[in-house]
Amino acid sequence: MIKNLLMALVATTFATVAFAQVDPAVKETGKAAAESTKEARENVKAAAEKEPNKSMDKAKARVHKAKAHAHRQKAKKAADTIAH
């Protein structure tokens, strides 16, 4: 009985550690997808507008693109940490 309890405790501990490692990778991937969507939205808005709003929307799109790239890099690092 105690052996079974100990095995369950060990299994729960390993599952918690594995989830803790996967969680950042999943979060960063979701953030990257959200930023990519915002970038696309700003590009569509810029296509339909005239200056100076067009330039502002293009600048916003570039910012979202940079943020998405940063989130993708963080997700990649988190995934590499899990694999090793």
Write out the DSSP string of 3-66. Answer: HHHHHHHHHHHHHHHHHHHHHHHHHHHHHHHHHHHHHHHHHHHHHH--TTHHHHHHHHHHHHHH
pLDDT confidence of 10, banded at 50, 70, 90?
A: low
pTM passes above 0.85: no
Higher pLDDT, 68 or 51: 68
